[in-house]
Amino acid sequence: MPSVVNETNFQREVLEASGPVLVHFWTPWCGLCKLIGPMLETIQGDSKELIKLVSINADENFRLANTYRLRNLPTIMLFYNGELIEKLDNFNSRDRLRIALERLMKNTLSLSQ
């Protein structure tokens, strides 16, 4: 289950985290965003809890959305040791999203080992 993160706790929860953090920027009106949630939870479960999963409502956290220059939703970002490692934000189908997430998770697991 993802943690809910906002502008107040982003520094502590994401940038100061001890391991990899997968950030899911979403909005309530985004249909594809709703499909991602269960996919991310499944992938996180498969990673044996090595990856922290957080969720950020882009509408309610405009400064974060602006800081990371969100152009599309959903946007998935991987942070490690306070650094943005990868940003995924151009999905036009569920299958492309699944493939991108699987590749990202493989890369993430290699960081945490």
Contacts of 52 (CB under 8 A, 6+ apart): 3, 13, 17, 19, 20, 21, 22
Q: How far apart are CA 78 and CA 93, in angstroms?
A: 20
Candidate list 5, 21, 33, 65, residue with the active-site label: 33
Candidate list 30, 35, 39, 100, residue with the active-site label: 30
**Residue 76 annotated in active site:** no
> Which of 24, 49, 51 shows the shortest CA–CA distance to 35?
24
**Residue 74 annotated in active site:** no
Q: How far apart are CA 57 and CA 85, in angstroms?
A: 21
For 50, the token pair is: 């090595």
Residues acting as catalytic residues: 30, 33
